[in-house]
Chain A
Amino acid sequence: MSPSRVSKIQLLMVMLLLVVLQFYLRPRLWDARVSPDFLLIALMLFAMRTSPGIAALAGFVVGLIADTLTPARFGAGALAHTLVGYLGSWGRSVFFADNILVNAAFVAAGLWFRDLIVLVASGTDHRQVITELTLYSPLQALTTAGFALVVLITFRSMFSIRLDA
């Protein structure tokens, strides 16, 4: 088995682990509005290591899952995650993708941007949009970025992360 294939399988295992955490651990954590979004971490880490088209497709699938399992407007999550995945993949060529802090910042920014699109596309009241984007989204972005750091440090060899940066 070639090293690249091993690496892909390992990456897939990490993604699966994040999916399980999203649906098994997250409901047991504290307030859902500030708990880390494990699916978004998986999407961002995947998007930064693949082509924009595949990242957009992955985002679409993640968004479809979110739309199906959460009572928001159908399609809003898919649109938001597609954009986040696509832009996350393009961002790789602009920033240093092997820097751990850049990865974490990408995750935080992606979450905030995802929330912005979902709220706007869902036709949410502007007061609630402001509250969500200034209070809950930054908090969730922080917790999500924090957990993304843990994942990146734990599986740094798979994600080609430089800790001395």
Chain B
Amino acid sequence: MVSSSDRRYTRRDTVLFVLCLGLSFFGLFSPAPVGHAVADRLRQTVLSPLVWLQTRAEEGRTSRVRFRQVTTERDSTAYLAQFLPSLRAENERLRQLLRLSRRLNISYVPAEVLHQPQVMDGRTLLLSAGRKEGVSVFSPVVSPEGLIGVVLSVSNQSSIAMSWAHPEFRVSAFTVTGNAFGVVAPSNEGGNGEGALEFRGVPYRDSIPLGTMVLSSGLGGVFPKGVPVGTVIGVVREEAGWERVYRLRPAANPGSAAHVLILVGGRTSDLGPAFPTDSQLEAMRQDSIARLRRADSVAQAVRAARAARRDSLQRASPLQGGGAPSSPILGGNPAAPPSLRDSAQ
């Protein structure tokens, strides 16, 4: 049973409930502009703190999303930048290979070195060119820096090359000055023997200064003449007063070679000019720059002459009715009107 106080309570509740319902229905069925006006007024007055709070929250969320996006972009950029030096190096190596291929005066086959993740990688190389491309056994393998090795076996689409680091590798060689001949082989000194070459069989009387370049001599008919093999960096030993063995820093590194050229013909040719020294390369670069500058200056002079001619024609046209004669030296066509000649230039 409900007490009198509870009944009063219920009556007041009912009134409040009906009032709220009525107001709600009024809002619901009132015209939209009225509702919008009320909402706008409320947003600008009593609810403005809540709107402010919500705005801050949205800004915070947006900032967080943008921060995450910026962080992701930065990480991606850093990841890509890691590959930039290696890409540049590979690009430079390919350019060098292209330049070498232009300088070579014998037939060659380009090939990729398929490195294997094994400890013996560097001694024997798997190349991506084979019999189909014209590769045969004992074809020399070179890189822009110098001699890499020689082909050991050939299949249809690939071949295996023995690099200079292989214990059985030998090449007949001579110094660039031409005063000493010998045989280059991998060094047995220092344990692994893979980091250096030895220039053996040099007569005791033929002293070779440090820094002298050693090239293949072409003797034996396997390697053409003039391919850089290494640079003298010291004396390994002297054999009983009649022979000196020199240590060479190899010209090319098979472990890092990614692209090579396999020479497939003309083993009697002299490839010396195809492998210029650093000073020669620098001289060639300077020469090409000078040629470009000369060409630029000539083009500049021609442009200046044409501009001067245009100016003189424009000055002369009011007097001569636009029919000024043009000079064939400056590329003008006397039969054409000045405007056409100018546009044609």
Contacts and interface: CB of A to CB of B under 8 A. Distances in A.
B50 A23 contact: yes
Contacts of B53: 20, 23-24
Nearest to B11: A53
Interface string A49-73: 0011110110110011101110001
A53 B17 CA distance: 5
A75 interface: yes
A118 B24 CA distance: 12
A3 B29 CA distance: 44
Given A53-B17, A56-B17, A74 B50 contact: no
A79 interface: yes
Contact of B17 (A28, A63, A68, A82): A82
A158 B343 CA distance: 92
Contacts of B57: 23-28
B286 interface: no
Nearest to B60: A28
Contacts of A51: 9, 12-13
A92 to B, nearest CB: 13
A78 to B, nearest CB: 4
Contacts of A86: 13, 17, 20
A76 interface: yes
Given A28-B57, A74-B35, A78-B27, A69 B51 contact: yes
B51 to A, nearest CB: 7
B28 A69 contact: no
B58 interface: yes
Nearest to A85: B20
A19 interface: yes
Given A24-B53, A67-B39, A69-B51, A75 B28 contact: yes
B54 A79 contact: no
A101 interface: no
Contact of A56 (B13, B47, B58): B13
A42 to B, nearest CB: 13
Contacts of B36: 74
Nearest to B17: A56
B95 interface: no
Given A65-B47, A68-B47, A75-B29, A27 B61 contact: yes
A79 B61 contact: no
Contacts of B56: 24
A60 B27 CA distance: 11
A74 B28 CA distance: 6
Nearest to A70: B39
Given A51-B9, A52-B17, 7 more contacts: A19-B50, A28-B64, A51-B12, A53-B14, A57-B20, A74-B28, A75-B30
9 contacts: A23-B57, A27-B58, A53-B13, A65-B47, A68-B38, A68-B42, A69-B43, A69-B50, A86-B17
Interface of B: 9-10, 12-17, 20-21, 23-30, 32, 35-36, 38-39, 42-43, 47, 50-51, 53-54, 56-58, 60-61, 64
Q: List the 8 closest A-B pairs by CB distance, nearest first.
A: A75-B27, A74-B35, A53-B13, A75-B28, A53-B16, A79-B24, A60-B20, A27-B57
Interface of A: 19-20, 23-28, 51-54, 56-57, 59-60, 63-65, 67-69, 73-76, 78-79, 82-83, 86, 121
